[in-house]
């Protein structure tokens, strides 16, 4: 998310530097052409928050800009209402999808789906829904106990 | 540098910007066998010209490009068979990507872009379009498979829009406005007559940046479509480091501090 007055530019090539890691990530996550344009135009053009949102580089424009932290806190609190364990596995599966072809990424993601089965959050989630209350989730197990997709 | 005399294409230079202009306006710039061969020559010559820092590709007349010349295919008794070997062996030479042009390439879409015309949308680094430009892919409406262009587009933009064009064929057109929303293009030029002027202006902005840094950046970004994210970043890191010690890396910050235009090394200099 970005404040409505946020602007984006990639000056690397205007200073004789290569644009690589950041834009490689963006190329995999959003339409490529506008990213390549930013990388090759350098300091001579900027992308505004509205266009970045339209392109899906970000998902929310906050106006007025002063409300940015408040909106960020609100978004984070929405997310914090979800199962930490399920979100961790979801995050691993989705970032893992950028590492592989489609069939391989799904094959790699399938165990993540199954690995939550039998987790207390799966019982609690359904029960809280029926009882119309917020779920009480389990704290996250140490990360080392989970398989990394990398 | 003087360019080869071509029949179906015009090649010229305006300042640092090399122009490749599809020049079969009566055939809506459809690609004849001859035009196909001429593309290989044109890209190579523009890539080799040390005075060209950026290449703009556009079309003469009311179409940018409309794929293969169907009239030639239908009329000469040879048909698509003449292209069998080159496609089966994937030995193609009509886009900048095929020809491994590492200078920045801008496609400026004037009017209609249909079918094989998407090759030069998919394979360009930047795409701008006149406000009256329209896009559609008639392959399946004439019994042809769409593959190479759409495969490129699917890796570069939202997939659903590409699939829809592939399957709706000639029965629907995509507007420049929608192409802009989807991130297929980054600029709409209105009025349409200003397209070449705006393409030249964009080209001149790009030409102000370090040619060597842009070449490495272009390699890193197209390389990102070849590998998983981690491997792509690893390869990109190689490109990044390849510029360290290059004179442009000192010249860039110095020019910035001195508030002047940088004097970049030509790509042809060692």
* B230·A99 Cβ contact <8 A: yes
| pLDDT at residue A150 in the model | 37
Cβ contact A24–B217 (<8 Å) = no
> What kind and span of H or E run contains A100?
none
Min Cα distance A49 → chain B (Å) is: 14
User: CA dist A12 to A38, A39, A50, B160, B246, Å?
Assistant: 10, 7, 23, 33, 14
Q: Does the structure show a pLDDT above 60 at A124?
A: yes
* End-to-end Cα, chain A, rounded Å: 27
The reply to whether A23 touches chain B by the CB within 8 Å rule is yes
B156 to chain A nearest CA, in Å?
Answer: 5
Compute the residue count for chain A.
150
Q: Would you tell me the crossing angle of helices B148-156 and A32-41 to the nearest 10 degrees?
A: 70
CB B126 within 8 A of CB B101: no
The mean pLDDT value for B184-190 works out to: 98
Q: Can you say how many angstroms the Cα of residue A129 is from the centroid of all Cα atoms in its chain?
A: 25
Query: Does A31 lie at the interface with B, CB-CB under 8 angstroms?
Result: yes
Q: Which of B2-16, B63-77, B125-139 has the lowest mean pLDDT?
A: B63-77
Handedness of CA B180, B163, B137, B85 (dihedral sign): positive
Q: What is the pLDDT of residue B14?
A: 98
Query: pLDDT by residue (tens digit) across B188-205?
Result: 999 999 999 999 999 999
Interface contact flag, A13 B210, Cβ < 8 Å: yes
Q: What is the pLDDT of residues A55-98, one digit of tens each?
A: 999 999 999 999 999 999 999 999 999 999 999 999 999 999 99
**Of B222, B80, B228, B67, the residue nearest B148 (C-alpha):** B67
In the sheet with B187-189, reading across from the earlier edge strand, the strands are B9-14, B17-22, B54-59, B105-109, B126-130, B187-189
Contact A39 B240 (CB under 8 A): no
Identify whether B86 is preceded by a cis peptide bond (ω within 30 of 0). no
What average pLDDT does this structure show over A99-120? 92
Q: If you average pLDDT over every residue of chain B, what do you get?
A: 96
Nearest to A40 among B126, B155, B262 (CB): B126
d(CA B100, CA B43): 9
Give the integer Cα–Cα distance in Å for A131 and B18: 68
Exposed (0-12), middle (13-18) or buried (19+): which is B155, by Cβ within 10 Å?
middle
Please give, rounded to a whole number of angstroms, the shortest distance from the CA of B68 to a CA of chain A.
25
Give the mean pLDDT of B238-255: 96
With an 8 Å Cβ cutoff, are A27 and B221 in contact? yes
Percent of chain B beyond pLDDT 70?
Answer: 99
Dist. CA B118–CA B149, nearest whole Å = 6
pLDDT tens figures, B218-229? 999 999 999 999
Quick check: B64 and B111 in contact, CB under 8 A?
Answer: yes
pLDDT band for B75, please (50, 70, 90 cuts).
confident
Q: Helices (DSSP H) in chain B: which residue ranges?
A: 33-48, 70-75, 84-88, 119-122, 148-156, 159-168, 176-181, 195-206, 211-223, 229-242, 247-257
- B61-70, B108-117, B133-142, B260-269: the lowest-pLDDT one: B260-269
- Helical (H) or strand (E) element with B269: none
């Amino acid at each position: 998310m970005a404040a409505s007055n946020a602007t984006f530019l990639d000056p690397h090539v205007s200073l004789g530097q290569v644009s690589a890691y950041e834009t490689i990530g963006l190329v995999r996550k959003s339409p490529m052409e506008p990213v390549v344009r930013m990388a090759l135009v350098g300091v001579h053009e900027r992308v505004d928050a509205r266009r970045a949102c339209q392109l899906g580089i970000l998902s929310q424009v906050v106006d007025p800009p002063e409300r940015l932290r408040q909106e960020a806190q609100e978004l984070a609190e929405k997310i914090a209402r979800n199962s930490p364990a399920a979100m961790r596995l979801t995050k691993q599966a989705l970032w893992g999808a950028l590492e592989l072809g489609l069939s391989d990424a799904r094959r790699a993601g399938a165990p993540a789906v199954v690995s939550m089965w039998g987790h207390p959050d799966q019982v609690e989630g359904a029960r809280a829904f029926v009882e119309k209350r917020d779920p009480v989730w389990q704290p996250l197990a140490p990360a080392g106990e989970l398989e990394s997709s990398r | 540098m003087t360019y080869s005399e071509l029949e179906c294409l015009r090649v010229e230079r305006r300042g640092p910007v090399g122009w490749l202009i599809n020049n079969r306006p009566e055939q809506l710039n459809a690609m004849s066998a001859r035009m196909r061969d001429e593309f290989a020559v044109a890209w190579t010559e523009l890539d080799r010209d040390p005075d060209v820092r950026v290449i703009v590709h556009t079309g003469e007349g009311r179409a940018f490009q409309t794929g293969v010349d169907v009239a030639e295919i239908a009329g000469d008794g040879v048909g698509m068979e003449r292209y069998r070997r080159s496609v089966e062996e994937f030995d193609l030479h009509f886009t900048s990507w095929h020809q491994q042009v590492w200078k920045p390439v801008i496609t400026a879409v004037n009017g209609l872009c249909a079918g094989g015309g998407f090759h030069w949308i998919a394979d360009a680094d930047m795409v701008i379009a006149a406000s009256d430009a329209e896009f559609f892919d008639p392959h399946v409406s004439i019994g042809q498979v769409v593959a190479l262009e759409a495969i490129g587009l699917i890796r570069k933009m939202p997939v659903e829009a590409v699939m829809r064009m592939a399957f709706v064929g000639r029965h629907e057109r995509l507007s420049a406005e929608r192409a802009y929303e989807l991130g297929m293009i980054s600029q709409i030029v209105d009025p349409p007559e200003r397209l070449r002027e705006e393409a030249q202006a964009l080209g001149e902005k790009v030409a102000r940046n370090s040619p060597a840094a842009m070449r490495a950046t272009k390699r890193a970004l197209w390389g990102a479509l070849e590998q998983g994210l981690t491997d792509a970043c690893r390869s990109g890191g190689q490109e990044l480091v390849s510029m360290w010690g290059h004179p442009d890396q000192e010249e860039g910050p110095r020019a910035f501090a001195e508030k002047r235009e940088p004097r970049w090394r030509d790509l042809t200099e060692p």
